[in-house]
Amino acid sequence: MDFFLTSVLAFLVAIGVLVAVHEYGHYIVARWCGVKVLRYSIGFGKPIWMRKSGPDQTEYCISAIPLGGYVKLLDEREGNVAPEEIDRAFTRKPVWARIAILFAGPGANFIFAVVAYWLMFVVGVPGAQPIIGDVEPNSIAARAGIQSEDKILRVGDNDVGTWEGAILYLLEEVLDESVVALEVETVDGETRTALLDVEGRLSELTEPGQLFPVLGMAPWKPVIPATVSEVTPGGAAEAAGVLAGDTVVSAEGEVVEDWPQWVMWVRERPGETVTFVVERDGEQLTMTATIGETETEGERIGLIGMATEPPEGLAERYSALQRYGVVESVMPAVERTWDMAELTVRMLGRMVIGDVSVKNISGPINIAEYAGYSASIGFAPFLSFLAIVSVSLGILNLMPVPVLDGGQIVYQVAEAIKGSPLSERAQIIGQQIGIAFLVLIMSFAFYNDLSRFF
């Protein structure tokens, strides 16, 4: 329940911020160009809060449906305009001004992404070093000579320091290349180049969550032995005779390979009396304990009263922190925004021709889930999430679909070439096609969300 509320709140914050930024781009450039702004609304539908302000008495609204927003400009196409205000109508401005106003919304999203990445790099981006874990036999990775605990240094021509960067550049490379070059460092400190043969596997590799399974490798995960560092006084473990330094090796005949497995095993057995085996000074001892219990989010979970500490040096081996100075963060922020925009455009292009699965289209449910997950991890991951969605929002709105900013820009360019506006009939047909396209896209998005959810 807590994660659900976090997801909903994070989603509302994310959508509210990104829509406000997008619409503010339209709003401020419209004012700079001398167009009268009638309404600035976050959300659609009936306003639940409204305030009029400024010399034009612009209506500032928060509306009931939090899935978008709009800026309403003075426009002859939407009603009569008073003669004294005719020069402030959107339709009376030169083509370049109208294009600037339309482009300003997506432009504001790109600027916001740069600012978000900049702040993220200044604060510091915690991440995992790109160290490879398990490698499947006879897989693409195995045939390239990739081995467990190899560390990725470069993907193609790009240096990487975290798994986030490695995944970004891997996706970029597989979109166009039949062979992807990885420069890796072995545990012995040697460097070599591994060539991943991905020819004909683009559709599989770009399925959501399938990049690593198809390549046949996984990110390295730290192995934390089920060794006890502390026993809780009065707990079930103490009553069973467990001591600090003991290592759990099996439970009810099931081999215990690491600490997370042991924790999950205990959590699933609240109130049960169980038998487990620990190793102490080379000797195996069988113990019996009645697992305690507590309630979390309405669910009963087991507690046994023991704790562990990660092996010394594990954090340094596994974690990475990307942090730059205030000035030094500017270029990495611009580059990351450009990389995300380029990847988004290329994925959309390959999706249109059928090379990339439409399962990559996400709707509000999936976005909310990611929003809650990133927000629960920390400020920097949430900033990264906001930047990614902001870039996607900017790209989406620049698509040449009549109901979007990109489609309206196409209308203005056509007018500049033709010397007069497109006919009303042509614009209506364009709007109908645009609406049908958006309905199709949203149908895919909701279908994908529900498929993942269930």
Q: What string of H, E and C letters represents the secondary structure of 64-109?
A: EEEEEEEEEECCHHHCCCCHHHHHHCHHHCCHHHHHHHHHHHHHHH
Pair 141, 191 in one domain: yes
Q: What is the pLDDT of residue 430?
A: 80
pLDDT band at 88; cut points 50, 70, 90? very high
Residue 204 lies in a domain: yes
Range from 204-213, 292-301, 388-397 carrying the lowest mean pLDDT: 292-301
* Region 406-426 average pLDDT: 86
**Catalytically annotated residue among 23, 164, 172, 173:** 23
Pair 264, 150 in one domain: no
Pair 329, 217 in one domain: yes
Which of 36-50, 73-87, 343-357 reaches the highest mean pLDDT? 36-50
**349, 253 Cβ separation under 8 angstroms:** no
Task: Read off the CATH number of the domain in which 259 is found.
Answer: 2.30.42.10
Last residue of a domain, one of 377, 395, 425: 377
* Region 436-441 average pLDDT: 79
Range from 157-161, 250-254, 435-439, 441-445 carrying the lowest mean pLDDT: 441-445
Pair 305, 331 in one domain: no
Domain that holds residue 197: 126-222+317-377
Last residue of a domain, one of 377, 392, 411: 377
Pair 289, 140 in one domain: no
Q: How many domains does the chain have?
A: 2
Among candidate residues 306, 304, 250, the one with its CA nearest the CA of residue 278? 250
Residue 25 lies in a domain: no
If one compares 81 and 23, the residue with the highest pLDDT of the two is 23
**105, 308 Cβ separation under 8 angstroms:** no
Task: Give Dmax (Cα) for the chain.
Answer: 96
Encoded tokens for 76: 């002859």
Pair 337, 304 in one domain: no
Pair 345, 362 in one domain: yes
Among candidate residues 97, 98, 166, the one with its CA nearest the CA of residue 130? 166
- Based on the residue annotation, tell me whether 23 is a catalytic residue of this protein: yes
Q: How confident is the prediction for the chain on average, in pLDDT?
A: 87
Q: What is the pLDDT of residue 419?
A: 83
Pair 195, 337 in one domain: yes
| The model's pTM | 0.79
Last residue of a domain, one of 309, 332, 356: 309
Pair 213, 330 in one domain: yes
Residue 56 lies in a domain: no
Which uninterrupted H or E stretch holds 277? strand 273-280
Which of 134-148, 151-165, 196-210 reaches the highest mean pLDDT? 134-148
Model pLDDT for residues 172-213, shown as the tens digit of each residue: 888 877 889 999 998 888 999 999 998 888 888 888 888 899
Q: What is the pLDDT of residue 101?
A: 96
Among candidate residues 444, 406, 353, 415, the one with its CA nearest the CA of residue 103? 406
Pair 364, 242 in one domain: no
Pair 287, 144 in one domain: no
Is 60 exceeded by the pLDDT of residue 1? Answer: no
Pair 218, 234 in one domain: no
Residue 179 lies in a domain: yes
Among candidate residues 394, 340, 391, 350, the one with its CA nearest the CA of residue 169? 340
If one compares 59 and 431, the residue with the highest pLDDT of the two is 59
Model pLDDT for residues 45-58, shown as the tens digit of each residue: 888 999 998 888 99
